Amino acid sequence: MKTLRMTIMMTLWVVSAAVAGEATIYYGGDIITMEGASPQYAEAVVQRDGRIAFVGSRVEALKKFGKQAKQVDLKGKTLLPAFLDGHGHMYNVGFAALCANLLPPPDGPGQNFDSIVDTMNTYKASKEGKYMLNKLGWIIGNGYDDSQLAEKDHPTAETLDRVSKDVPVIIIHQSGHLGVVNSKAMELLKIGANSKDPKGGAYRRDAKGVPTGVLEEGALFGALFPIIGKSDAEFALKCIEKGQEEYAKNGYLTAQDGRTTKEQVEALVFAAKAGKFYIDVVAYPDITLGTEYLIGQEYSPSHDYKKRFRIGGVKLTLDGSPQGKTAWLSEPYLVPPTGQKKGYRGYPVMSDEKAVGYVKTAFRNKWQILCHTNGDAAIDQYVKAVDAAEKAYGYPDHRTVLVHGQTLRKDQIPVLVRLKIYPSLFPMHTFYWGDWHESSVLGEPRASYISPTRDVVDAGLTITSHHDAPVTFPNSMRVLDATVNRVTRSEKILGPDQRLTPYEGMKTLTDWAAFQYFEEDTKGTLTQGKLADFVILDKNPLKIDSMKIHDIKIIEAIKEGRTVYSKE
Could you read off the pLDDT of 326-369 as tens digits, one per residue?
999 999 999 999 889 999 999 999 999 999 999 999 999 999 99
**If you ran DSSP here, which 8-state letter would residue 226 be given?**
H
β-strand pairing of 201-205 with 178-181 = unpaired
Q: Left, alpha or beta for 109 (phi > 0: left; psi -120 to 50: alpha)?
A: alpha
Quick check: 6 pLDDT over 80? no
Is residue 531 within 8 A of residue 50, CB to CB? The reply is yes
Quick check: 7 pLDDT over 60? no
**Are 133 and 15 members of one domain?**
no
Domain that holds residue 564: 1-82+524-568
Q: What is the dihedral of CA 393, 398, 401, 402, to 10 degrees?
A: 30
Q: What 3-state DSSP class applies to 251? A: coil
- Domain contains 397: yes
For range 483-505, the mean pLDDT: 98
- Domain contains 429: yes
- Domain contains 242: no
**Are 276 and 209 members of one domain?**
no
Q: Count of CB atoms within 10 A of residue 553's CB?
A: 11
Q: What share of the chain is helix, strand, coil (3-state, %, to 5)?
A: 35, 20, 45
- Which residues contact residue 15 at a Cβ distance below 8 angstroms, ignoring those fewer than 6 apart? none
Residue-wise pLDDT for 93-135, tens only, equals 999 999 999 999 989 999 999 999 999 999 999 999 999 999 9
Lowest mean pLDDT among 182-196, 211-225, 282-296: 282-296
The pLDDT of residue 339 is 83
**Are 78 and 101 members of one domain?**
no
- Domain contains 385: yes
**Are 325 and 291 members of one domain?**
no
For range 456-468, the mean pLDDT: 97
Count structural domains, the chain.
4
Tell me the C-alpha distance between 541 and 552, whole Å: 8
**Are 98 and 201 members of one domain?**
yes
Quick check: 9 pLDDT over 70? no
Type of residue at 551: D
Residue-wise pLDDT for 35-61, tens only, equals 999 999 999 999 999 999 999 999 999
Mean pLDDT of the chain: 94
**Are 509 and 361 members of one domain?**
yes
Residue-wise pLDDT for 530-561, tens only, equals 999 999 999 999 999 999 999 999 999 999 99
Residue-wise pLDDT for 401-443, tens only, equals 999 999 999 999 999 999 999 999 999 999 999 999 999 999 9
Is residue 464 within 8 A of residue 515, CB to CB? The reply is no
Quick check: 12 pLDDT over 50? no
**If you ran DSSP here, which 8-state letter would residue 410 be given?**
G
The pLDDT of residue 8 is 37
**Are 113 and 224 members of one domain?**
yes
Q: Where among 313, 333, 350 does a domain terminate?
A: 313
The pLDDT of residue 19 is 46
- Domain contains 554: yes
**If you ran DSSP here, which 8-state letter would residue 531 be given?**
B
Using only C-alpha atoms, what is the Rg of the chain? Answer: 23
Tell me the C-alpha distance between 498 and 485, whole Å: 9
CATH code for the domain of 101 = 3.10.310.70
**Are 451 and 467 members of one domain?**
yes
Q: Where among 264, 293, 313 does a domain terminate?
A: 313
pTM of the model: 0.91
The pLDDT of residue 228 is 84
Tell me the C-alpha distance between 203 and 276, whole Å: 39
Q: Where among 275, 294, 313 does a domain terminate?
A: 313
CATH code for the domain of 544 = 2.30.40.10
Q: Which residue has the higher pLDDT, 40 or 296?
A: 40
Q: How far is CA 167 from the centre of its chain?
A: 31
**If you ran DSSP here, which 8-state letter would residue 549 be given?**
G
CA-based nearest residue to 64, from 54, 52, 72, 73: 54
Lowest mean pLDDT among 3-12, 152-161, 303-312, 402-411: 3-12
Report the first-to-last Cα separation within the chain, whole angstroms: 12
Residue-wise pLDDT for 311-329, tens only, equals 999 999 999 999 999 999 9
Q: DSSP of 15-33, one letter per residue?
A: HTPPPTT-EEEEEEEEEE-
Is residue 549 within 8 A of residue 541, CB to CB? The reply is yes
The pLDDT of residue 59 is 96
Q: What 3-state DSSP class applies to 5? A: helix
CATH code for the domain of 359 = 3.20.20.140
**Are 198 and 295 members of one domain?**
no
Tell me the C-alpha distance between 227 and 260, whole Å: 15
- Name the percent of the chain lying above pLDDT 90: 90
- Domain contains 234: no
Residue-wise pLDDT for 98-108, tens only, equals 999 999 998 99
Quick check: 145 pLDDT over 50? yes
Tell me the C-alpha distance between 164 and 183, whole Å: 9
Tell me the C-alpha distance between 517 and 256, whole Å: 10
Lowest mean pLDDT among 37-41, 59-63, 228-232, 491-495: 228-232
The pLDDT of residue 15 is 35
- Domain contains 233: no
**Are 306 and 293 members of one domain?**
yes
The pLDDT of residue 10 is 37
**Are 381 and 508 members of one domain?**
yes
Tell me the C-alpha distance between 307 and 35, whole Å: 28
For range 224-248, the mean pLDDT: 92
- Domain contains 323: yes
CA distances from 17 to 14, 22, 31 (A): 5, 10, 22
Quick check: 495 pLDDT over 90? yes
Q: What 3-state DSSP class applies to 246? A: helix
**Are 509 and 532 members of one domain?**
no
